[in-house]
């Protein structure tokens, strides 16, 4: 088997380089011929990957959700499978797909796993694999990305969220979900292809990654103390029945806001409102565990 190993040396707070070397060694020990491609910044893999696919049987992404999203953007709609070797701070797609975080176990899946087609989300034409969000979520994602001292996964998201909630943020949003309209003052809107984001927050616990639909969570504006009390319930996926929460399921969401808001997904900035977020059914082939 010929595997192109794409890695981000800066992933996981700088642990990506050693994780990539270890993954390459394990894949070769498993009998694969491995070629390496290092990412040198946002957009680099998306630009270089198409020309590197000749003679390759699988692509393995060793990094976080941002790197995975770049690889997925290139491989979407092709028969080339993508394996995941989690090395970022969030690793939300790997978590949703049951890919082990242990590099040895993940390498074994990359070598011997089966292929499974999953949906991709599209935000104003740009693909994402997990959750596209605006409002509080997007601000937290930006803060985590630019933090001087990056914190891992769920802990980092929770701390940045608590800091932002101190000012009781609120935005006017309108959502058209396949004709169902929802609008009002909101804390956040998240449109999900997978249940979790932010390193494990289960914002859409019923989301299914291959059903041809996206699940949205709309949380209305609430006071600071109430918002803080919602965090642990959202983390555990126990928020959907709360009076401040509305859930929607659709294939296409037309989103507008006042003022215009950034939409973030997979740890990256994708679009600004007004925007269309929609599903691209079974567009990406992932390598998953056989069991």
Which residue is it, tokens 């028969």? 79
Q: What is the pLDDT of residue 159?
A: 61
Tokens standing for residue 163: 């800091």
**Of 112, 136, 151, which residue constitutes the final position of a domain?**
112
Classify residue 249: in a domain, yes or no: yes
Q: Is the pLDDT of residue 144 over 70?
A: no
Classify residue 146: in a domain, yes or no: yes
Q: For the segment 23-39, what is each residue's pLDDT rounded down to a tens digit?
A: 999 999 999 999 999 99
**What is the residue range of 149's domain?**
126-281
Q: pTM of whole model > 0.75?
A: yes
Q: What is the pLDDT of residue 170?
A: 77
CATH number of the domain enclosing 165 = 2.60.200.40
Residues 95, 146 within the same domain: no
CATH number of the domain enclosing 71 = 3.40.50.10330
For the chain, state the CA radius of gyration. 18
Question: Are the C-beta atoms of 249 and 216 separated by less than 8 Å?
Answer: yes
Q: What is the pLDDT of residue 62?
A: 95
Q: How many domains does the chain have?
A: 2
Note the maximum CA span of the chain: 57
Tokens standing for residue 254: 């037309």
Which residue is it, tokens 């990506």? 16
Measured between alpha carbons, how far is 268 from 285 in angstroms, rounded to an integer?
A: 22
CA-closest candidate to residue 143, choices 126, 128, 158? 158
**Of 74, 89, 112, which residue constitutes the final position of a domain?**
112
**Of 112, 136, 153, which residue constitutes the final position of a domain?**
112
Which residue is it, tokens 């709360």? 242
Q: Say which residues have a Cβ less than 8 Å from residue 149's Cβ, sequence separation at least 6.
A: none
Q: For the segment 169-207, what is each residue's pLDDT rounded down to a tens digit?
A: 779 999 999 999 999 999 899 999 999 988 788 999 999
Question: Are the C-beta atoms of 275 and 124 separated by less than 8 Å?
Answer: yes
Q: Is residue 56 very low, low, confident or very high in pLDDT (cuts 50, 70, 90)?
A: very high
CA-closest candidate to residue 57, choices 87, 39, 78, 77? 78
Question: Are the C-beta atoms of 187 and 220 separated by less than 8 Å?
Answer: yes
Classify residue 288: in a domain, yes or no: no
């Amino acid at each position: 088997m010929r595997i192109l190993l794409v890695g981000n040396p800066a992933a996981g707070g700088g642990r990506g380089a050693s994780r990539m070397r270890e993954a390459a060694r394990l894949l070769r020990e498993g009998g694969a011929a491995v070629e390496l491609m290092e990412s040198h910044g946002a957009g680099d893999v998306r630009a270089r990957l198409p020309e590197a696919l000749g003679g390759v049987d699988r692509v393995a992404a060793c990094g976080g959700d941002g790197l995975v999203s770049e690889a997925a953007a290139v491989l979407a709609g092709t028969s080339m499978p993508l394996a995941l070797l989690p090395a970022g701070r969030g690793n939300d797609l790997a978590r949703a797909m049951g890919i082990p975080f242990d590099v040895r176990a993940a390498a074994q899946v990359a070598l011997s796993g089966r292929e499974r087609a999953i949906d991709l989300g599209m935000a104003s034409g740009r693909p994402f694999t997990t959750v596209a969000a605006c409002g509080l979520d997007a601000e937290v994602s930006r803060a985590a990305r630019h933090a001087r001292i990056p914190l891992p996964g769920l802990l980092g998201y929770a701390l940045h969220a608590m800091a932002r909630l101190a000012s009781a943020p609120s935005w006017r949003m309108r959502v058209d979900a396949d004709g169902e309209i929802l609008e009002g003052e909101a804390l956040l809107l998240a449109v999900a292809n997978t249940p979790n984001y932010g390193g494990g927050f289960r914002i859409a616990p019923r989301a299914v990654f291959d059903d041809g639909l996206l699940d949205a969570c709309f949380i209305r504006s609430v006071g600071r103390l109430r918002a803080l009390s919602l965090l642990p319930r959202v983390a555990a996926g126990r928020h959907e029945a709360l009076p401040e929460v509305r859930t929607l399921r659709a294939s296409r969401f037309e989103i507008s806001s006042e003022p215009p808001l950034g939409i973030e997904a997979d740890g990256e900035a994708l679009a600004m409102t007004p925007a269309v977020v929609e599903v691209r059914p079974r567009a990406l082939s992932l390598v998953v565990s056989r069991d």
